[in-house]
Structure 1
Amino acid sequence: MTYSPRLSCIIPAYNEAPRIGAVLQTALATALIDEVIVVDDGSTDTTALIADGFAVRHPGLRVLRQPVNGGKTRAVAAGVAAARGEFLLLLDADLAGLAPDHLASLADPVIGGRAGAAISLRRNAPWPWRVIGLDYISGERVLPRALLAAHLDRLDALPRFGLEVFMNRLWIANGLQIAVVPWPGVSSPLKGAKQGLRAGLRADVNMMGDIFRTIRPWEALTQIATLRSRRI
Protein backbone atom coordinates (compact mmCIF):
# COMPACT_ATOMS: atom_id res chain seq x y z
CA MET A 1 0.00 0.00 0.00
CA THR A 2 1.32 3.47 -0.92
CA TYR A 3 1.87 5.77 2.06
CA SER A 4 -0.16 8.98 1.89
CA PRO A 5 0.97 11.72 4.30
CA ARG A 6 -1.75 13.48 6.27
CA LEU A 7 -0.21 16.94 6.78
CA SER A 8 2.14 18.73 4.38
CA CYS A 9 3.90 21.91 5.52
CA ILE A 10 4.67 24.43 2.76
CA ILE A 11 7.21 27.17 3.49
CA PRO A 12 7.61 29.83 0.77
CA ALA A 13 10.88 31.69 1.24
CA TYR A 14 12.61 34.64 -0.37
CA ASN A 15 15.92 35.87 1.04
CA GLU A 16 15.27 34.46 4.51
CA ALA A 17 18.74 33.00 5.19
CA PRO A 18 19.01 34.54 8.70
CA ARG A 19 15.63 33.15 9.77
CA ILE A 20 14.61 30.03 7.84
CA GLY A 21 16.83 27.63 9.82
CA ALA A 22 14.92 28.15 13.06
CA VAL A 23 11.58 27.74 11.28
CA LEU A 24 12.74 24.53 9.61
CA GLN A 25 13.99 23.10 12.90
CA THR A 26 10.55 23.65 14.41
CA ALA A 27 8.62 22.25 11.45
CA LEU A 28 10.80 19.14 11.29
CA ALA A 29 10.39 18.58 15.05
CA THR A 30 6.57 18.71 14.89
CA ALA A 31 5.21 15.18 15.03
CA LEU A 32 1.95 15.99 13.22
CA ILE A 33 3.81 17.15 10.10
CA ASP A 34 4.50 14.34 7.63
CA GLU A 35 6.37 16.28 4.95
CA VAL A 36 7.95 19.73 4.66
CA ILE A 37 8.30 21.53 1.34
CA VAL A 38 10.42 24.66 1.09
CA VAL A 39 9.78 26.70 -2.05
CA ASP A 40 12.71 29.03 -2.60
CA ASP A 41 11.32 31.94 -4.60
CA GLY A 42 14.43 32.93 -6.55
CA SER A 43 16.41 34.01 -3.50
CA THR A 44 19.69 35.85 -4.05
CA ASP A 45 21.10 34.84 -0.67
CA THR A 46 21.79 31.40 0.81
CA THR A 47 18.18 30.54 1.72
CA ALA A 48 18.05 27.57 -0.67
CA LEU A 49 21.47 26.29 0.40
CA ILE A 50 20.42 26.33 4.06
CA ALA A 51 17.26 24.43 3.20
CA ASP A 52 19.31 21.94 1.15
CA GLY A 53 21.50 21.34 4.19
CA PHE A 54 18.46 20.40 6.25
CA ALA A 55 17.17 18.17 3.43
CA VAL A 56 20.36 16.11 3.48
CA ARG A 57 19.68 15.20 7.12
CA HIS A 58 15.88 14.98 6.88
CA PRO A 59 14.38 12.82 4.11
CA GLY A 60 10.95 14.30 4.84
CA LEU A 61 12.07 17.70 3.57
CA ARG A 62 11.99 18.71 -0.09
CA VAL A 63 13.38 21.94 -1.55
CA LEU A 64 11.83 23.38 -4.70
CA ARG A 65 13.57 26.25 -6.49
CA GLN A 66 11.71 28.84 -8.50
CA PRO A 67 13.98 30.13 -11.29
CA VAL A 68 12.94 33.75 -10.70
CA ASN A 69 11.21 35.61 -7.89
CA GLY A 70 7.52 35.34 -8.72
CA GLY A 71 5.98 36.28 -5.40
CA LYS A 72 4.49 34.39 -2.49
CA THR A 73 1.31 33.28 -4.24
CA ARG A 74 3.15 31.50 -7.05
CA ALA A 75 5.61 29.96 -4.61
CA VAL A 76 2.77 28.52 -2.54
CA ALA A 77 1.05 27.28 -5.72
CA ALA A 78 4.21 25.34 -6.60
CA GLY A 79 4.23 23.83 -3.11
CA VAL A 80 0.56 22.86 -3.31
CA ALA A 81 1.15 21.14 -6.65
CA ALA A 82 4.00 19.11 -5.11
CA ALA A 83 2.35 18.33 -1.77
CA ARG A 84 0.92 14.89 -1.10
CA GLY A 85 -0.89 15.47 2.17
CA GLU A 86 -4.62 15.59 2.77
CA PHE A 87 -4.11 18.84 4.67
CA LEU A 88 -1.75 21.78 4.19
CA LEU A 89 0.03 23.86 6.81
CA LEU A 90 1.21 27.13 5.25
CA LEU A 91 4.06 28.66 7.19
CA ASP A 92 6.04 31.87 6.72
CA ALA A 93 9.82 31.48 6.72
CA ASP A 94 10.65 34.45 8.96
CA LEU A 95 8.87 33.68 12.24
CA ALA A 96 10.59 34.13 15.60
CA GLY A 97 9.67 32.31 18.81
CA LEU A 98 8.07 29.39 16.97
CA ALA A 99 7.84 26.00 18.71
CA PRO A 100 6.36 22.62 17.73
CA ASP A 101 3.46 23.19 20.12
CA HIS A 102 2.41 26.24 18.07
CA LEU A 103 2.21 24.22 14.87
CA ALA A 104 0.45 21.33 16.57
CA SER A 105 -2.14 23.67 18.08
CA LEU A 106 -2.81 25.19 14.65
CA ALA A 107 -3.18 21.85 12.88
CA ASP A 108 -5.11 19.94 15.53
CA PRO A 109 -8.58 21.56 15.10
CA VAL A 110 -8.56 20.81 11.36
CA ILE A 111 -7.05 17.33 11.48
CA GLY A 112 -9.36 16.50 14.38
CA GLY A 113 -12.42 17.61 12.41
CA ARG A 114 -13.49 20.41 14.74
CA ALA A 115 -12.85 23.14 12.15
CA GLY A 116 -12.60 23.36 8.40
CA ALA A 117 -9.56 25.64 8.52
CA ALA A 118 -7.32 27.33 11.07
CA ILE A 119 -5.44 30.62 11.18
CA SER A 120 -2.85 32.00 13.59
CA LEU A 121 -2.99 35.18 15.65
CA ARG A 122 0.63 36.16 16.36
CA ARG A 123 1.91 38.26 19.23
CA ASN A 124 2.82 41.17 16.95
CA ALA A 125 -0.15 41.01 14.60
CA PRO A 126 -1.44 44.57 13.92
CA TRP A 127 -3.24 45.79 17.01
CA PRO A 128 -6.69 46.05 15.33
CA TRP A 129 -6.51 42.35 14.50
CA ARG A 130 -5.54 41.50 18.07
CA VAL A 131 -8.46 43.59 19.34
CA ILE A 132 -11.01 41.81 17.15
CA GLY A 133 -9.34 38.41 17.59
CA LEU A 134 -8.65 37.73 13.90
CA ASP A 135 -5.70 38.42 11.59
CA TYR A 136 -7.47 37.96 8.28
CA ILE A 137 -4.22 38.13 6.27
CA SER A 138 -2.13 35.87 8.50
CA GLY A 139 0.23 33.65 6.51
CA GLU A 140 0.06 30.72 8.95
CA ARG A 141 -2.91 28.53 8.06
CA VAL A 142 -4.13 24.95 7.95
CA LEU A 143 -6.70 23.84 5.38
CA PRO A 144 -7.64 20.89 3.16
CA ARG A 145 -5.23 20.56 0.25
CA ALA A 146 -8.06 19.89 -2.21
CA LEU A 147 -9.46 23.36 -1.59
CA LEU A 148 -6.37 25.06 -3.05
CA ALA A 149 -5.35 22.31 -5.47
CA ALA A 150 -8.59 22.86 -7.39
CA HIS A 151 -7.59 26.46 -8.10
CA LEU A 152 -3.90 26.30 -9.09
CA ASP A 153 -4.56 28.10 -12.36
CA ARG A 154 -6.27 30.94 -10.50
CA LEU A 155 -3.43 31.15 -7.99
CA ASP A 156 -0.95 31.67 -10.81
CA ALA A 157 -3.03 34.61 -12.03
CA LEU A 158 -3.23 36.34 -8.63
CA PRO A 159 -1.07 39.31 -7.62
CA ARG A 160 2.06 38.44 -5.65
CA PHE A 161 0.37 38.93 -2.26
CA GLY A 162 -3.23 38.10 -3.09
CA LEU A 163 -3.12 34.61 -1.62
CA GLU A 164 -4.56 35.12 1.87
CA VAL A 165 -7.63 37.08 0.85
CA PHE A 166 -8.24 34.63 -2.00
CA MET A 167 -8.17 31.80 0.55
CA ASN A 168 -10.59 33.73 2.74
CA ARG A 169 -12.97 33.90 -0.21
CA LEU A 170 -12.73 30.13 -0.71
CA TRP A 171 -13.27 29.45 2.99
CA ILE A 172 -16.38 31.62 3.06
CA ALA A 173 -17.78 30.20 -0.19
CA ASN A 174 -17.35 26.67 1.18
CA GLY A 175 -18.95 27.49 4.52
CA LEU A 176 -15.92 26.51 6.60
CA GLN A 177 -15.84 26.97 10.35
CA ILE A 178 -12.60 28.67 11.41
CA ALA A 179 -10.30 28.03 14.36
CA VAL A 180 -8.35 31.15 15.34
CA VAL A 181 -5.29 29.99 17.30
CA PRO A 182 -3.45 32.58 19.43
CA TRP A 183 0.34 32.44 19.22
CA PRO A 184 1.33 34.89 21.99
CA GLY A 185 5.02 33.93 21.84
CA VAL A 186 5.43 34.15 18.06
CA SER A 187 6.28 37.23 16.02
CA SER A 188 7.00 38.09 12.42
CA PRO A 189 9.60 40.81 11.76
CA LEU A 190 8.39 44.00 10.14
CA LYS A 191 9.46 44.47 6.54
CA GLY A 192 11.34 47.60 7.55
CA ALA A 193 13.46 45.59 9.96
CA LYS A 194 14.42 43.14 7.22
CA GLN A 195 14.72 45.46 4.23
CA GLY A 196 15.36 48.90 5.66
CA LEU A 197 12.78 51.60 6.36
CA ARG A 198 12.25 52.90 2.83
CA ALA A 199 12.21 49.50 1.15
CA GLY A 200 10.02 48.11 3.92
CA LEU A 201 7.44 50.87 3.53
CA ARG A 202 7.42 50.35 -0.21
CA ALA A 203 6.93 46.60 0.28
CA ASP A 204 4.01 47.21 2.66
CA VAL A 205 2.35 49.58 0.17
CA ASN A 206 2.83 47.06 -2.63
CA MET A 207 1.38 44.28 -0.47
CA MET A 208 -1.75 46.29 0.30
CA GLY A 209 -2.04 47.14 -3.39
CA ASP A 210 -1.95 43.44 -4.23
CA ILE A 211 -4.60 42.69 -1.62
CA PHE A 212 -6.95 45.32 -3.02
CA ARG A 213 -6.32 44.21 -6.58
CA THR A 214 -7.56 40.80 -5.48
CA ILE A 215 -10.57 42.00 -3.49
CA ARG A 216 -12.26 45.37 -3.07
CA PRO A 217 -11.99 47.15 0.31
CA TRP A 218 -15.64 46.46 1.06
CA GLU A 219 -15.04 42.75 0.54
CA ALA A 220 -12.16 42.88 3.03
CA LEU A 221 -14.58 44.17 5.65
CA THR A 222 -17.09 41.49 4.70
CA GLN A 223 -14.40 38.80 4.97
CA ILE A 224 -13.41 39.97 8.43
CA ALA A 225 -16.99 40.02 9.68
CA THR A 226 -17.85 36.64 8.15
CA LEU A 227 -14.73 34.86 9.36
CA ARG A 228 -15.22 36.23 12.86
CA SER A 229 -18.81 34.94 12.85
CA ARG A 230 -17.55 31.47 11.90
CA ARG A 231 -14.97 31.09 14.65
CA ILE A 232 -15.36 27.95 16.66
Structure 2
Amino acid sequence: MTVSCIIPAYNEAARIAQVLAPVLGHPLIDEVIVIDDGSSDATSAVVAAIQGVRLITLAQNIGKTAALAQAIAQAKGPLLLLVDADLIGLSADDLTALIRPVLTGRADLSISLRQNAPWIWRRIGLDYISGERVLKKSLIAPQLDALPHLPKFGFEVFLNSLAIAANQRLAVVAWPGVVSPLKASKYGFWTGLRGDIGMIRDMMRAVPALGLLRQIVTLRRLRV
Protein backbone atom coordinates (compact mmCIF):
# COMPACT_ATOMS: atom_id res chain seq x y z
CA MET A 1 0.00 0.00 0.00
CA THR A 2 1.26 3.46 -0.90
CA VAL A 3 2.06 5.80 1.99
CA SER A 4 1.86 9.56 1.48
CA CYS A 5 3.65 11.64 4.11
CA ILE A 6 2.16 15.08 4.71
CA ILE A 7 4.04 17.72 6.68
CA PRO A 8 2.17 20.97 7.44
CA ALA A 9 4.60 23.80 8.12
CA TYR A 10 4.39 27.38 9.29
CA ASN A 11 7.60 29.37 9.85
CA GLU A 12 9.70 26.23 10.28
CA ALA A 13 12.71 27.15 8.11
CA ALA A 14 15.08 26.41 11.00
CA ARG A 15 13.71 22.94 11.71
CA ILE A 16 12.03 21.37 8.71
CA ALA A 17 15.18 20.04 6.98
CA GLN A 18 15.97 17.83 9.99
CA VAL A 19 12.43 16.44 9.88
CA LEU A 20 12.62 15.74 6.16
CA ALA A 21 15.97 13.93 6.45
CA PRO A 22 14.56 10.62 7.84
CA VAL A 23 11.37 10.91 5.75
CA LEU A 24 13.00 11.19 2.32
CA GLY A 25 14.10 7.86 0.96
CA HIS A 26 12.30 5.90 3.67
CA PRO A 27 11.42 2.51 2.17
CA LEU A 28 7.80 2.61 3.37
CA ILE A 29 7.07 6.17 2.20
CA ASP A 30 6.17 6.70 -1.46
CA GLU A 31 5.28 10.39 -1.51
CA VAL A 32 6.33 13.39 0.57
CA ILE A 33 4.21 16.55 0.59
CA VAL A 34 5.07 19.71 2.52
CA ILE A 35 2.35 22.34 2.68
CA ASP A 36 3.69 25.73 3.68
CA ASP A 37 0.80 27.52 5.37
CA GLY A 38 1.69 31.08 4.37
CA SER A 39 5.03 31.26 6.20
CA SER A 40 6.71 34.65 6.55
CA ASP A 41 10.17 33.07 6.81
CA ALA A 42 12.19 30.96 4.33
CA THR A 43 10.30 27.69 4.90
CA SER A 44 9.32 27.33 1.23
CA ALA A 45 12.82 28.19 0.02
CA VAL A 46 14.38 25.59 2.31
CA VAL A 47 11.96 22.89 1.17
CA ALA A 48 12.23 23.82 -2.51
CA ALA A 49 15.98 23.22 -2.36
CA ILE A 50 15.49 19.62 -1.17
CA GLN A 51 14.91 17.01 -3.86
CA GLY A 52 12.10 14.50 -3.58
CA VAL A 53 9.57 16.78 -1.87
CA ARG A 54 6.33 18.00 -3.37
CA LEU A 55 5.88 21.55 -2.09
CA ILE A 56 2.52 23.31 -1.83
CA THR A 57 2.87 26.98 -0.90
CA LEU A 58 -0.16 28.90 0.32
CA ALA A 59 -0.31 32.64 -0.22
CA GLN A 60 -1.61 33.29 3.28
CA ASN A 61 -1.91 31.50 6.60
CA ILE A 62 -5.20 29.61 6.72
CA GLY A 63 -4.51 27.36 9.73
CA LYS A 64 -3.33 23.79 10.11
CA THR A 65 -6.71 22.13 9.56
CA ALA A 66 -7.53 23.92 6.30
CA ALA A 67 -3.96 23.46 5.05
CA LEU A 68 -4.12 19.73 5.75
CA ALA A 69 -7.39 19.50 3.81
CA GLN A 70 -5.64 20.82 0.71
CA ALA A 71 -2.69 18.47 1.06
CA ILE A 72 -4.84 15.41 1.79
CA ALA A 73 -6.93 16.11 -1.31
CA GLN A 74 -3.78 15.92 -3.43
CA ALA A 75 -2.17 12.92 -1.71
CA LYS A 76 -2.00 9.81 -3.89
CA GLY A 77 -1.63 7.11 -1.26
CA PRO A 78 -4.38 5.18 0.51
CA LEU A 79 -2.40 5.58 3.74
CA LEU A 80 -1.49 8.99 5.16
CA LEU A 81 1.45 9.67 7.46
CA LEU A 82 1.09 13.03 9.19
CA VAL A 83 4.24 14.53 10.71
CA ASP A 84 4.74 17.90 12.38
CA ALA A 85 7.48 20.10 10.93
CA ASP A 86 9.27 21.02 14.16
CA LEU A 87 10.25 17.62 15.62
CA ILE A 88 13.67 17.05 17.13
CA GLY A 89 15.28 13.61 17.13
CA LEU A 90 13.01 11.96 14.56
CA SER A 91 14.56 8.84 12.99
CA ALA A 92 13.67 6.44 10.20
CA ASP A 93 13.05 3.75 12.83
CA ASP A 94 10.46 5.98 14.51
CA LEU A 95 8.64 6.36 11.22
CA THR A 96 8.74 2.62 10.56
CA ALA A 97 7.31 1.91 14.01
CA LEU A 98 4.43 4.31 13.39
CA ILE A 99 3.64 3.06 9.87
CA ARG A 100 3.85 -0.71 10.36
CA PRO A 101 0.78 -1.30 12.59
CA VAL A 102 -1.50 0.20 9.92
CA LEU A 103 0.45 -1.10 6.94
CA THR A 104 0.26 -4.67 8.24
CA GLY A 105 -3.40 -4.43 9.25
CA ARG A 106 -2.82 -4.81 12.99
CA ALA A 107 -4.40 -1.39 13.55
CA ASP A 108 -6.51 1.09 11.59
CA LEU A 109 -4.86 4.16 13.08
CA SER A 110 -1.56 4.83 14.86
CA ILE A 111 -0.56 7.78 17.05
CA SER A 112 2.88 8.71 18.39
CA LEU A 113 3.72 9.16 22.07
CA ARG A 114 6.71 11.51 22.13
CA GLN A 115 9.37 11.81 24.82
CA ASN A 116 8.15 15.21 25.95
CA ALA A 117 4.43 14.58 25.72
CA PRO A 118 2.72 15.98 28.84
CA TRP A 119 3.24 13.79 31.89
CA ILE A 120 -0.41 12.83 32.12
CA TRP A 121 -0.43 11.56 28.51
CA ARG A 122 2.67 9.46 29.13
CA ARG A 123 1.13 8.17 32.35
CA ILE A 124 -2.06 6.96 30.62
CA GLY A 125 -0.18 5.84 27.50
CA LEU A 126 -1.98 8.08 25.01
CA ASP A 127 -1.35 11.54 23.55
CA TYR A 128 -4.74 11.94 21.94
CA ILE A 129 -3.81 15.25 20.25
CA SER A 130 -0.47 14.14 18.84
CA GLY A 131 0.18 15.50 15.35
CA GLU A 132 2.04 12.37 14.25
CA ARG A 133 -0.34 9.74 12.94
CA VAL A 134 -0.89 7.12 10.28
CA LEU A 135 -4.43 6.69 9.02
CA LYS A 136 -6.38 5.43 6.05
CA LYS A 137 -7.21 8.21 3.64
CA SER A 138 -10.70 6.73 3.33
CA LEU A 139 -11.39 7.80 6.93
CA ILE A 140 -10.91 11.50 6.28
CA ALA A 141 -11.54 11.89 2.52
CA PRO A 142 -15.36 12.13 2.81
CA GLN A 143 -14.90 14.99 5.30
CA LEU A 144 -12.49 17.19 3.32
CA ASP A 145 -15.14 19.81 2.58
CA ALA A 146 -15.83 20.13 6.32
CA LEU A 147 -12.19 20.63 7.36
CA PRO A 148 -11.79 24.27 6.25
CA HIS A 149 -14.75 25.20 8.45
CA LEU A 150 -13.18 23.72 11.59
CA PRO A 151 -11.06 25.79 14.02
CA LYS A 152 -7.41 26.15 13.00
CA PHE A 153 -6.25 23.53 15.52
CA GLY A 154 -9.31 21.32 15.56
CA PHE A 155 -7.99 18.65 13.21
CA GLU A 156 -6.72 16.03 15.67
CA VAL A 157 -9.84 15.96 17.86
CA PHE A 158 -12.06 15.93 14.76
CA LEU A 159 -10.07 12.97 13.45
CA ASN A 160 -10.45 11.25 16.81
CA SER A 161 -14.21 11.61 16.48
CA LEU A 162 -14.16 9.96 13.06
CA ALA A 163 -11.97 7.11 14.28
CA ILE A 164 -14.20 6.48 17.29
CA ALA A 165 -17.36 6.53 15.17
CA ALA A 166 -15.75 3.93 12.89
CA ASN A 167 -14.61 1.85 15.89
CA GLN A 168 -11.06 1.88 14.58
CA ARG A 169 -8.32 -0.10 16.26
CA LEU A 170 -5.59 2.21 17.59
CA ALA A 171 -1.88 1.56 17.96
CA VAL A 172 -0.01 3.94 20.29
CA VAL A 173 3.66 4.01 19.31
CA ALA A 174 6.27 5.26 21.78
CA TRP A 175 8.83 7.69 20.36
CA PRO A 176 11.22 7.96 23.33
CA GLY A 177 13.85 9.94 21.45
CA VAL A 178 11.54 12.47 19.77
CA VAL A 179 10.75 15.92 21.15
CA SER A 180 8.28 18.53 19.96
CA PRO A 181 9.50 22.01 21.02
CA LEU A 182 7.20 24.00 23.25
CA LYS A 183 5.65 27.06 21.67
CA ALA A 184 7.32 29.22 24.32
CA SER A 185 10.76 28.05 23.19
CA LYS A 186 9.92 28.81 19.57
CA TYR A 187 8.09 32.11 19.86
CA GLY A 188 8.84 33.46 23.34
CA PHE A 189 6.90 33.00 26.56
CA TRP A 190 3.90 35.28 26.02
CA THR A 191 3.43 34.51 22.33
CA GLY A 192 3.79 30.81 23.09
CA LEU A 193 1.26 31.05 25.93
CA ARG A 194 -1.25 32.78 23.67
CA GLY A 195 -0.65 30.04 21.09
CA ASP A 196 -1.31 27.29 23.65
CA ILE A 197 -4.48 29.01 24.86
CA GLY A 198 -5.64 29.42 21.26
CA MET A 199 -5.01 25.75 20.53
CA ILE A 200 -7.01 24.64 23.56
CA ARG A 201 -9.81 27.03 22.62
CA ASP A 202 -9.90 25.63 19.08
CA MET A 203 -10.03 22.06 20.39
CA MET A 204 -13.00 22.91 22.60
CA ARG A 205 -14.74 24.68 19.74
CA ALA A 206 -14.38 21.52 17.67
CA VAL A 207 -15.32 19.13 20.49
CA PRO A 208 -16.77 20.23 23.89
CA ALA A 209 -14.63 19.61 26.98
CA LEU A 210 -16.67 16.61 28.11
CA GLY A 211 -16.39 15.20 24.62
CA LEU A 212 -12.60 15.47 24.80
CA LEU A 213 -12.62 13.44 28.00
CA ARG A 214 -14.81 10.83 26.34
CA GLN A 215 -12.34 10.69 23.45
CA ILE A 216 -9.50 9.83 25.81
CA VAL A 217 -11.48 7.07 27.51
CA THR A 218 -12.73 5.58 24.24
CA LEU A 219 -9.39 5.75 22.42
CA ARG A 220 -7.69 3.94 25.29
CA ARG A 221 -10.34 1.22 24.99
CA LEU A 222 -9.65 0.92 21.26
CA ARG A 223 -5.91 0.39 21.69
CA VAL A 224 -4.44 -2.83 20.33
How would you bin the TM-score normalised by the shorter chain?
over 0.9
Match of 1:42 among 22, 38, 44: 38
Match of 2:125 among 127, 133, 143: 133
2:81 is aligned with 1:86: no
2: CA distance, partners of 1:104 / 1:31: 9
Are the equivalent residues in 2 in contact too, given 1:30–1:101 (CA < 8 A)?
no
Matched AA of 1:180: V
SS at match of 2:33: strand
Deviations 1:83-116 (A, max 9, x none): 0001000000000000001011000000100000
Moved more, 134-143 or 26-35: 26-35
Q: How many residues align?
A: 224
Match of 1:227 in 2: 219
Question: What is the CA RMSD across the aligned residues, in angstroms?
Answer: 0.7
- Per the TM alignment, residue 144 of structure 1 is displaced from its structure 2 partner at its CA by 0.3
Aligned counterparts, 1:74-223, within 5 A: 74-223=66-215
2: CA distance, partners of 1:174 / 1:194: 36
Gaps in structure 2 of 5+ consecutive residues:
none
1: CA distance, partners of 2:151 / 2:58: 17
Match of 2:24 in 1: 28
Fraction of identical pairs, as percent: 54
TM-score by length of 1: 0.95
Are the equivalent residues in 2 in contact too, given 1:13–1:39 (CA < 8 A)?
yes
- Per the TM alignment, residue 164 of structure 1 is displaced from its structure 2 partner at its CA by 0.2
Deviations 1:52-106 (A, max 9, x none): 011xx32xx2000111101110111111011000100000000000000101100
SS at match of 1:172: helix
- Per the TM alignment, residue 29 of structure 1 is displaced from its structure 2 partner at its CA by 3.3
2: CA distance, partners of 1:229 / 1:189: 29
Moved more, 141-150 or 193-202: 141-150
2: CA distance, partners of 1:207 / 1:176: 25
TM-score by length of 2: 0.99
Match of 1:72 in 2: 64
2: CA distance, partners of 1:156 / 1:67: 16
- Structure 1 runs (4+) deviating above 4 angstroms are none
Match of 1:53 among 24, 49, 56: 49
